Amino acid sequence: MSPVSPDNDRIILGLGCSSGHDSGASLIAGGRLLAAIEEERLTRKKHDSDFPMQSIRFCLDRAGISGDRVDQVVIGWTPRGHYLKKAGILVHKSMSPRVMRRKAAFLRNLHYGTLNDGRTVRMLFPNASVHFIEHHMAHAASSFYASPFDRASILSLDGRGEWSTGLLGLGDGSGIVKIRESFWPQSLGLLYLAFTRYLGFGNHDEYKVMGLAAYGEPVHLDEMRKIFRFDPETIFHVDTAYIQHQSYSGCAKGDYWTSLVEKTFGPPRKDSQEITRTHMDIACSLQARLNEVGVEIAGNLVQSTGIDNLCLAGGVCLNGVMNYQIHKQLSLDNIYIQPASNDGGVSLGAALYGYHAIGGNREKIGFDHAYWGSGFTNEEIEQELGNYRIAARRLADVPGTVARLLVDGKIIGWFQGRSELGPRALGSRSIIADPRPAENKDIVNARIKFREEFRPFAPSVMEEHCAEWFDLDISSPYMLMIPTVREDKRGIIQAVTHVDGTARPQTVSRTANPRYHALIEEFYRLTGCPLILNTSFNVKGEPIVDSPADALRCFFSTGLDYLVMGDFIISKSMVYDEIDGIDKGESARGVGATAREPEAG
């Protein structure tokens, strides 16, 4: 906990909600970011969109304050503005009575969302001023103000905010100036989601399409070029003859493609159907076209501003293939991508906007890692083990012991420090394994993650060795670029090399995550390989684990070999002969020898 003195600077709370998914809260006090977390981590409800009460409580507890101490609340959503554009949806496409009722309900929900009137916020924070900022401005702020740049070109792309779907901006000191926006129903996020659904996947499954694309060929690229393109006046253009939404058409919810897509590419895949070469080629063609359009948008932006520092945010910018092409084709080395580019980062952007744009502070708040969530001491972990009467072993050398277990083929749940902000596990709440044997990919997919076999895993690599193993000569600490693996290394790290020879590396620095770096360094000493396999510590359909109880539930319900939390290692058998041969630790004090598995739920 970091208590806040009454004499410190303003206390600013940023909130993200009302977008329909990934709500959360972030808190700045004394000129420092103290906490940032997504609601799903605490409620265990994936993509939780509810009012972020638990996130708020976490932030206040982390600062050691009550709600009446908060000076300013900034909400990353505003119902106001763009009234003429919103009214235009009433005459867009179908005007049947049924669809008109849908349109009216859509507009009403936009205006009367969870946070829109501010009454709940004002009750919780009676002494705070309340500010509403636009959704895409919050995305832009989350990237620019967290970046190391004093001036930068800014690109934000997602499905939809209140009405805008993309923003080009210029960040300068404490201010962000809007250059251009795109508006609903023009949306690259909706377009990619439409094809995600068409290919038989669900909402929020766009990353599956990105992974599937590697198996195909861009044989439908010309057709994709007819569907969407770069536009210098409106950022991009999507032909809405192919894409639809229930807010302005008679389609069923989730059926975001029109009959023209089926006429062009064939019938949609159902989620129970086999994935064929045709589906792979469609995914590949979609991804190839997004790469082209993303590069054109970013290139035009940088050319128009004359500033080649580039900040990216918004859900579309979680697409690491597109991001890498922007870096590579435009020769841009100064790129900052917000790790919580999804709507989970809106609360952070709102808080940073309050500090910089509203407060006028030019000096950046330190944001050199993504570890802003829950953290637990060894004493708290030991107490949780005792609650379940789990006999654990306390390790004398955590990195050394775990590295040896990885070399011996063990797959380990790794729970250390504060949880990450954003959808990627970055060495705090991770499942880790040896990246060399090809079978480790299949083992983790089938025995632990329970997910599709075609999906790849990421490597966490020592920052100083990244360029030796990947065609990437800049740091990528948040797994948001997908370069090629060096040809002479592909046969060595088979479990993390995708079918097309690419990988999604996380560069790990000694300063950002010392214990994780030490683990990889010890693995390197033992094997000559300076990286390990890293995937999020969860199973399909659940949020990443946040607390020791979450980690224990996941551990006992999957095929993980060991769980390492803080200094403790846990075995399902409670037998530690293998560990005793590696590490001379001690049994956890005060922990019973009889195991009782955590209850589910």
pLDDT score for 107? 80
pLDDT score for 116? 64
Give the sheet arrangement for strand 586-587, strand by strand: 506-508, 458-462, 531-536, 429-433, 412-415, 562-565, 568-571, 393-394, 586-587
For 177, the enclosing helix (H) or strand (E) is: strand 175-183
In angstroms, the CA 374 to CA 565 distance is 13
pLDDT score for 585? 67
In angstroms, the CA 385 to CA 403 distance is 23
For 175, the enclosing helix (H) or strand (E) is: strand 175-183
For 443, the enclosing helix (H) or strand (E) is: helix 439-443
In angstroms, the CA 448 to CA 431 distance is 9
Exposed, middle or buried: residue 535 (CB in 10 Å: 0-12, 13-18, 19+)?
buried
Contact 393, 586 (CB under 8 A): yes
User: Could you tell me which residue, 2 or 201, shows the higher pLDDT?
Assistant: 201
Q: Count Cα atoms within 13 angstroms, Cβ side, for 413.
A: 32
Contact 549, 557 (CB under 8 A): no
First-to-last CA distance in the chain? 27
Asked whether residue 588 carries a pLDDT value surpassing 70, the answer given is no
Q: Which of these, 379, 374, 372, 420, lies nearest to 547 by C-alpha position?
A: 374
Residues 413 and 348 in one domain: no
User: Does a cis peptide bond (omega within 30 degrees of 0) precede residue 126?
Assistant: no
pLDDT score for 253? 74
Asked whether residue 27 carries a pLDDT value surpassing 80, the answer given is yes
- Considering the domain boundaries, does residue 150 fall inside one? no
Residues 131 and 223 in one domain: no
Residues 423 and 459 in one domain: yes
- Considering the domain boundaries, does residue 141 fall inside one? yes
Residues 441 and 577 in one domain: yes
The torsion defined by the Cα of 284, 286, 292 and 293, in degrees rounded to 10, comes to -160
In angstroms, the CA 164 to CA 162 distance is 6
Residues 412 and 391 in one domain: yes
Average pLDDT of the residues in 313-323: 98
pLDDT score for 6? 38
Q: To the nearest whole number, what is the mean pLDDT of the chain?
A: 93
Average pLDDT of the residues in 248-262: 86
DSSP for 260-286 reads: HHHHHH-SPPPTTSPP-HHHHHHHHHH
- Considering the domain boundaries, does residue 597 fall inside one? no
- Considering the domain boundaries, does residue 562 fall inside one? yes
Q: 131-169, pLDDT tens digit by residue?
A: 999 999 999 999 999 999 999 999 999 999 999 999 999
pLDDT score for 598? 44
pLDDT score for 98? 80
pTM: 0.94
Confidence class of residue 592 from pLDDT cuts 50, 70 and 90? very low
- Considering the domain boundaries, does residue 596 fall inside one? no
Residues 541 and 439 in one domain: yes
Token pair of 279 as six digits: 């589906």
DSSP for 446-503 reads: IIII---TT---EEEEEGGGHHHHBS--S--TTS----BBPGGGTTT-TTTS-TTSB-
In percent, the amount of the chain with pLDDT more than 70 equals 95
Confidence class of residue 117 from pLDDT cuts 50, 70 and 90? low
Residues whose CB is less than 8 angstroms from the CB of residue 381 and which lie 6 or more positions away in sequence, other chains included = 548, 565, 566, 568
Asked whether residue 597 carries a pLDDT value surpassing 60, the answer given is no
Residues 432 and 505 in one domain: yes
Average pLDDT of the residues in 576-594: 68
Q: Which of these, 204, 110, 155, 482, lies nearest to 303 by C-alpha position?
A: 155
- Considering the domain boundaries, does residue 449 fall inside one? yes
Sign of the alpha-carbon torsion through 236, 140, 506, 308: positive
* Domain that includes residue 460, residue range: 378-587
- Considering the domain boundaries, does residue 363 fall inside one? no
pLDDT score for 600? 38
- Of 125-129, 257-261, 577-581, 587-591, the range with the lowest mean pLDDT is 587-591
Q: 333-347, pLDDT tens digit by residue?
A: 999 999 999 999 999
Residues 329 and 199 in one domain: yes
Asked whether residue 449 carries a pLDDT value surpassing 60, the answer given is yes
Q: Could you give the 3-state DSSP secondary structure of residue 562?
A: strand
Token pair of 480 as six digits: 């948001």
DSSP for 525-540 reads: HHHS--EEEEEESS-T
Residues 295 and 410 in one domain: no
CATH number at residue 45: 3.30.420.40
CA 441 from chain centre, in angstroms, equals: 21
Instruction: Give whole-number Cα distances, 158 to 11, 206, 318, 569, in Å.
Output: 29, 12, 10, 41
Residues 432 and 303 in one domain: no
Q: 344-397, pLDDT tens digit by residue?
A: 999 999 999 999 999 999 999 989 999 999 999 999 999 999 999 999 999 999
Q: Which of these, 300, 293, 344, lies nearest to 135 by C-alpha position?
A: 344
Residues 223 and 127 in one domain: no
In angstroms, the CA 308 to CA 291 distance is 19
pLDDT score for 113? 64
562: β partners: 412, 571
Contact 340, 6 (CB under 8 A): no
Residues 327 and 353 in one domain: no
CATH number at residue 412: 3.90.870.20
User: What amino acid is encoded at 519 in this protein?
Assistant: L
Token pair of 417 as six digits: 């420090």
Average pLDDT of the residues in 473-483: 98
Domain count for the chain? 3
Confidence class of residue 590 from pLDDT cuts 50, 70 and 90? very low
pLDDT score for 229? 98
Confidence class of residue 601 from pLDDT cuts 50, 70 and 90? very low
Residues whose CB is less than 8 angstroms from the CB of residue 499 and which lie 6 or more positions away in sequence, other chains included = 214, 215, 454, 456
Confidence class of residue 587 from pLDDT cuts 50, 70 and 90? low
- Considering the domain boundaries, does residue 189 fall inside one? yes
Confidence class of residue 594 from pLDDT cuts 50, 70 and 90? very low
pLDDT score for 86? 79
Asked whether residue 36 carries a pLDDT value surpassing 60, the answer given is yes
In angstroms, the CA 58 to CA 25 distance is 9
pLDDT score for 114? 62
